[in-house]
């Protein structure tokens, strides 16, 4: 039976209430609270019972047949919600808003929150990663993107160009799981986000009209960012329905402040997860994460994904790492204190939203206890930021919340003695009455002579006197026992005196529970006033934790401080791949990566498995680590600050979009050569191998020449096309290097050492032999190779060494200063007034030139 097939006029009042709520939340699975259970009906029941493997039953709802129903206990709903949300569904939680004991007729119910991939605020989400919800607002000529982590309160916004690929790349890089889009957006973008990136996408045009959250965007000068953010906030506030004032002022992302790279580069370099298993282990993040707090781990991940371009900020981090490594005793004390700090950022979210429990406040108290020690250590380290230590808040929590408090708030045992007089008085009454019960049991044993008599309690029948069936004849009428319950081997009785005491005890206990809850909520309101300051401290703790992690890692793995230079020079002496070095069983062979002022392109040749890809990756990873402010895996390192990194490493067909390896190669090559500047780093691994040999070779040479002549970016280009090595004669900024190997008696040994010069042999058949292909097959391949080699002896493949047939003067053409000025600016980061001033200055310069 489906919901839309039902005659609503026949439905029971409760089911009509369900239907009215479900109408408002069509795109959600509705968890409808009935007593101690959340129930699902109709299509929701059919779907949920299948997804969660629950028993599908039925319920009388006024119709001729029972409607489909399944349910879960309300106290265990979180794990079921998690499973549904991970599968990409939205879950609406409908609660009873009134106490059934105090209401005649239907209990009022309403949805108190909707839980989705990006709006979770509970403690079950991954503590080491941010959980962002984002939106994309299509303005026609550009896109606004804003995103927030509701669990921590972080809010960001940026503008990107009006290209479809641009916005998709931005979304892919940042790993959003849920995205809101406006109703005018190109549906192709929506489809790509849903199918290729597994995003939960909601289309809505609503804008926030609540002045209470104006503080989040009031510092934004660009009206486009305000519109974008109001679009996102409208959805968040409508979805969560609670107090979200822990959301912080929006930070505008300026791409020029960070080292840019796309999602392919992030994956190729295995920065936060490995390519094969898609897991954190054996990634760069795994290696560097020696953080003691969840906040530090999240900050580290953000830093890996967003390395800096500001030299002053990078050098500041280097200085602090050096200080921590020198003052290692202070560092050990700092590590010990950080180990006692819980996730302050997410605690702040739960405090404000109201879904916290006593355990959360105990975690907050434990964290606050460590702050004075941390503050003292940071002062000794000359750290440039100070933290508040919240002594008054710690004192409040210390004298109020019981260390043994339960997870739930409606069972009592939350508040310590001595804090609230009324509570203490009620406890005395309850305790005295319970003592009376024990005394009464002893007195009744003596009066009746029944030694096995006992006074007990259960939630259904209250207090009772229990006597076994064999002892019943000993009871006399004058005892005043009234039969209350008959069991298989005993009888339970009540007396007027016991009934009187039961009313006193239960009345006092109910009052205690209600009063403890009220006092707890008052304490929560006091703690809420500190949220803003706690968030500031948590940001400082996050950075400090990451820096101590860098210091520990640098000392453990012998990383060194890089020297940043204004010159276009890379000099990485004995550079290693930090992750490969730690996981490989054999001794790692370090290599120098040297690209001086006269070398822009390294053309790398050598056999498969010799280490070409690793050599390229370690260069990029060293750059990223250096610009994160971390020490690097080298004996010494001198390098400039790069603005962008582009990679094409590895080969795989994109089965979802139906694009071949070669098409992907060409698209990524185009992205690199169209976006790269002379301050970029480009890594191309065997580009052109996805097509016919001569096609691939021709394209590889043309791309090399274009980068060499036009872009002038530092480039590492590995290839099996040995004919390309002859380009060194004609391209003056290209240099050949090779990964060496030794062949002896038909056996190949990889030396993994990079040397200057080219090789003219790929050893492919030798590698096949190492892979244990049949000996007869290897022998036949060798015979065929000899035939091909004889055919191609002294054959000159390339006669033209420039794609554009430019002479030297044209290659080194004089730069137009006006063009250079325009290249430096990003229109999306300028206010209207700045743009007008810039145009005015340009016009003035053009007139002066004439």
Q: Provide the token pair at 645.
A: 């990194």
Write the DSSP string, 330-378: HHHHHHHHHTT---HHHHHHHHHHT---HHHHHHHHHHHHHHHHHHHHH
Q: Report whether 189 contacts 168 (CB < 8 A).
A: yes
- Given this model, what pLDDT does residue 788 score? 58
Q: Provide the token pair at 278.
A: 């898609």
Cα dihedral 731→734→740→743 (10° resolution): -10
N-to-C CA span, the chain: 81
Specify the higher pLDDT residue, 722 or 701.
Answer: 701
The whole-angstrom separation of Cα 848 and Cα 850 is 5
Q: What is the mean pLDDT of residues 718-744?
A: 87
DSSP symbol at 346: H
Angle 514-520-524 (CA atoms, 0-180°, nearest 5)? 145
Based on the number of CB atoms within 10 Å of its own CB, is 626 exposed (0-12), middle (13-18) or buried (19 or more)?
A: buried
pLDDT band at 803 (very low <50, low <70, confident <90, very high): very low
Number of residues assigned to the chain = 850
- Given this model, what pLDDT does residue 616 score? 95
Strand order in the sheet with 714-718: 645-648, 681-685, 714-718, 601-605, 734-744, 747-756
The neighbour count for residue 408, using CB atoms within 10 Å, is 12
The whole-angstrom separation of Cα 714 and Cα 737 is 15
Question: Using alpha carbons only, how large is the chain's radius of gyration in Å?
Answer: 35
Element (H, E) at 392: helix 391-400
The neighbour count for residue 518, using CB atoms within 10 Å, is 12
Of 55, 114, 129, 117, give the one whose Cα is nearest residue 83. Answer: 117
Specify the higher pLDDT residue, 509 or 709.
Answer: 709
- Residue position matching structure tokens 């804003």: 146
Select, from the ranges 9-23, 531-545, 657-671, 836-850, the one with the highest average predicted confidence (pLDDT): 531-545
Query: pLDDT (tens digit, 9 = 90+) per residue, 275-319?
Result: 888 899 999 999 999 999 999 999 999 999 999 999 999 999 999
Of 351, 369, 371, give the one whose Cα is nearest residue 360. Answer: 351
The whole-angstrom separation of Cα 429 and Cα 588 is 73
Query: pLDDT (tens digit, 9 = 90+) per residue, 138-163?
Result: 999 999 999 999 999 999 999 998 88
Of 442, 434, 576, 417, give the one whose Cα is nearest residue 502. Answer: 434
On the question of pLDDT at 679 being above 80, the answer is: yes
Q: Provide the token pair at 460.
A: 């259904």
The whole-angstrom separation of Cα 611 and Cα 284 is 18
Query: pLDDT (tens digit, 9 = 90+) per residue, 422-462?
Result: 898 888 877 777 788 888 899 999 999 999 999 988 877 78
- Given this model, what pLDDT does residue 837 score? 76
Q: Provide the token pair at 398.
A: 């210390």
Of 166, 113, 164, 167, give the one whose Cα is nearest residue 135. Answer: 167
Q: Report whether 530 contacts 393 (CB < 8 A).
A: yes
The whole-angstrom separation of Cα 130 and Cα 173 is 14
Q: What long-range pairs does 418-426 form, CB within 8 A, spacing at least 24?
A: 419/519, 420/515, 420/519, 422/515, 423/512, 423/515, 423/516, 423/519, 426/508, 426/511, 426/512, 426/515
- Residue position matching structure tokens 């229109």: 827
- Given this model, what pLDDT does residue 411 score? 84
On the question of pLDDT at 43 being above 80, the answer is: yes
On the question of pLDDT at 809 being above 50, the answer is: no
Alpha helices in 480-611 (DSSP H): 496-528, 531-557, 578-583
Mean pLDDT of the residues in the chain? 88
Q: Is 375 helix (H, G, I), strand (E, B) or coil?
A: helix
The whole-angstrom separation of Cα 36 and Cα 39 is 10
DSSP symbol at 576: -
Give me the residues paired with residue 482 across strands.
494
Q: What is the mean pLDDT of residues 773-793?
A: 68
The pair phi, psi for residue 588, each rounded to 5°, is -80, 135
Of 677, 697, 673, 678, give the one whose Cα is nearest residue 687. Answer: 697
Q: Report whether 152 contacts 345 (CB < 8 A).
A: yes
Spell out the residues 6+ positions from residue 277 whose beta carbon is closer than 8 angstroms to its own.
none
On the question of pLDDT at 246 being above 70, the answer is: yes
Of 762, 727, 761, 693, give the one whose Cα is nearest residue 602. Answer: 727
Element (H, E) at 776: helix 775-791
Least confident among 121-125, 440-444, 612-616, 767-771: 767-771
Q: Report whether 50 contacts 78 (CB < 8 A).
A: no
Least confident among 223-232, 329-338, 807-816: 807-816
- Given this model, what pLDDT does residue 791 score? 62
The whole-angstrom separation of Cα 112 and Cα 241 is 6
Strands 142-149 and 154-161: antiparallel
Specify the higher pLDDT residue, 36 or 650.
Answer: 36
The pair phi, psi for residue 129, each rounded to 5°, is -135, 145
Percentage above 70 pLDDT, the chain: 91
Query: pLDDT (tens digit, 9 = 90+) per residue, 6-31?
Result: 888 889 999 999 999 999 999 999 99
On the question of pLDDT at 796 being above 50, the answer is: no
Q: Report whether 552 contacts 399 (CB < 8 A).
A: no
Cα 496 from chain centroid (whole Å): 62
Query: pLDDT (tens digit, 9 = 90+) per residue, 335-355?
Result: 999 999 999 999 999 999 988
- Given this model, what pLDDT does residue 797 score? 45
Q: What is the largest CA-CA distance in the chain?
A: 124
Q: Report whether 494 contacts 480 (CB < 8 A).
A: no
DSSP symbol at 813: P
Q: Provide the token pair at 483.
A: 């039969």
Q: Report whether 588 contacts 581 (CB < 8 A).
A: yes
Query: pLDDT (tens digit, 9 = 90+) per residue, 70-84?
Result: 999 988 898 999 999
């Amino acid at each position: 039976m489906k919901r839309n097939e039902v005659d609503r006029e026949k439905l029971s009042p409760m089911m009509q209430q369900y239907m009215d709520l479900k109408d408002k939340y069509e795109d959600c699975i509705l968890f409808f609270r009935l007593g101690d259970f959340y129930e699902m009906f109709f299509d929701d029941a059919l779907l949920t019972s299948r997804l969660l493997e629950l028993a599908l039953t039925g319920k009388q709802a006024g119709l001729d047949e029972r409607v489909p129903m399944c349910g879960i206990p309300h106290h265990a709903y979180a794990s079921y919600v998690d499973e549904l949300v991970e599968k990409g569904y939205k879950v609406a939680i409908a609660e009873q808003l009134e106490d059934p004991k105090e209401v005649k007729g239907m209990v009022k119910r309403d949805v108190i929150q909707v839980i989705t991939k990006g709006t979770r605020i509970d403690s079950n989400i991954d503590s080491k990663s941010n959980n962002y919800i984002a939106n994309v607002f299509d303005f026609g000529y550009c896109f606004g993107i804003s995103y927030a982590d509701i669990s921590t309160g972080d809010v960001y916004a940026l503008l990107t160009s009006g290209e479809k690929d641009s916005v998709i790349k931005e979304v892919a890089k940042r790993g959003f799981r849920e995205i809101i889009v406006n109703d005018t957006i190109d549906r192709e973008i929506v489809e790509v986000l849903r199918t290729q990136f597994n995003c939960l996408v909601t289309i809505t045009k609503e804008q926030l009209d609540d002045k209470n959250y104006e503080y989040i965007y009031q510092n934004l000068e660009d009206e486009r960012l305000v519109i974008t953010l109001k679009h996102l906030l409208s959805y968040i506030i409508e979805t969560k329905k609670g107090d979200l004032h822990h959301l912080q002022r929006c930070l505008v992302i300026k791409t020029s402040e960070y080292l840019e790279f796309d999602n392919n580069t992030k994956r190729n370099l295995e920065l936060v997860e490995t390519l094969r298993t898609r897991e954190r282990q054996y990634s760069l993040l795994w290696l560097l994460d020696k953080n003691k707090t969840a906040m530090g781990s999240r900050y580290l991940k953000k830093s890996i994904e967003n390395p800096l371009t500001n030299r002053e900020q990078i050098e500041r981090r280097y200085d602090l790492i050096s200080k921590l490594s020198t003052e290692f005793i202070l560092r050990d004390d700092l590590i010990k204190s950080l180990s006692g700090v819980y996730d302050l950022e997410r605690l702040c979210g739960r405090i404000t939203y109201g879904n916290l429990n006593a355990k959360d406040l105990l975690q907050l108290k434990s964290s606050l206890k460590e702050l004075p020690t941390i503050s003292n250590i940071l002062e000794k380290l000359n750290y440039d930021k100070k933290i508040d230590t919240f002594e008054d808040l710690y004192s409040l929590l210390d004298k109020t919340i019981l260390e043994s408090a339960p997870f739930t708030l409606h069972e009592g045992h939350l508040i310590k003695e001595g804090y609230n007089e009324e509570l203490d008085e009620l406890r005395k009454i309850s305790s005295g009455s319970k003592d009376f019960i024990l005394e009464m049991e002893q007195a009744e044993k003596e009066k009746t002579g029944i030694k096995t008599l006992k006074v007990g309690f259960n939630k259904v029948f209250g207090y009772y006197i229990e006597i076994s069936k064999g002892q019943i004849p000993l009871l006399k009428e004058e005892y005043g026992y009234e039969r209350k319950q008959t069991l298989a081997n005993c009888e339970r009785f009540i007396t007027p005196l016991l009934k009187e005491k039961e009313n006193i005890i239960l009345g006092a206990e109910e009052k205690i529970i209600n009063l403890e809850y009220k006092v707890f909520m008052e304490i929560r309101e006091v703690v809420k006033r500190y949220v803003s300051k706690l968030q500031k401290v948590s940001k400082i703790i996050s950075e400090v934790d990451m820096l101590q992690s860098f210091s520990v890692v640098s000392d453990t793995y012998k990383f060194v401080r890089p020297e940043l230079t204004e010159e276009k020079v890379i000099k990485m002496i004995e550079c290693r791949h930090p992750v490969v070095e730690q996981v490989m069983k054999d001794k790692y062979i370090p290599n120098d990566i040297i690209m001086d002022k006269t070398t822009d392109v390294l053309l790398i040749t050598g056999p498969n498995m010799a280490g070409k890809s690793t050599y390229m990756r370690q260069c990029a990873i060293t750059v990223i680590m250096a610009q994160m402010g971390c020490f690097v895996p080298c004996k010494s390192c001198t390098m400039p600050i790069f603005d962008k990194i582009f990679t094409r490493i590895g080969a795989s067909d994109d089965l979802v979009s139906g694009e071949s390896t070669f098409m992907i190669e060409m698209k990524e090559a185009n992205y690199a050569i169209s976006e790269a500047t002379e301050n970029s780093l480009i890594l191309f691994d065997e580009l052109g191998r996805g097509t016919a040999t001569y096609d691939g070779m021709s394209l590889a040479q043309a791309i090399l020449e274009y980068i060499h002549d036009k872009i002038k970016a530092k480039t590492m280009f590995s290839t099996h096309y040995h004919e390309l090595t002859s380009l060194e004669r004609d391209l003056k900024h290209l240099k050949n290097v090779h990964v060496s190997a030794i062949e002896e008696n038909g056996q190949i040994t990889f030396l993994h050492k990079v040397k200057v010069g080219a090789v003219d042999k790929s050893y492919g058949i030798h590698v096949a032999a190492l892979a244990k292909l049949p000996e007869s097959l290897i022998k036949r391949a060798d015979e065929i190779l000899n035939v091909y080699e004889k055919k191609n002896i002294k054959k000159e493949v390339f006669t033209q060494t420039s794609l554009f047939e430019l002479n030297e003067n044209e290659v080194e053409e004089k730069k137009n200063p006006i063009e250079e000025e325009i290249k430096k600016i990003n229109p999306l980061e300028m206010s209207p007034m700045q743009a007008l001033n810039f145009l005015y200055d340009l016009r003035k310069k053009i007139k002066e030139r004439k």
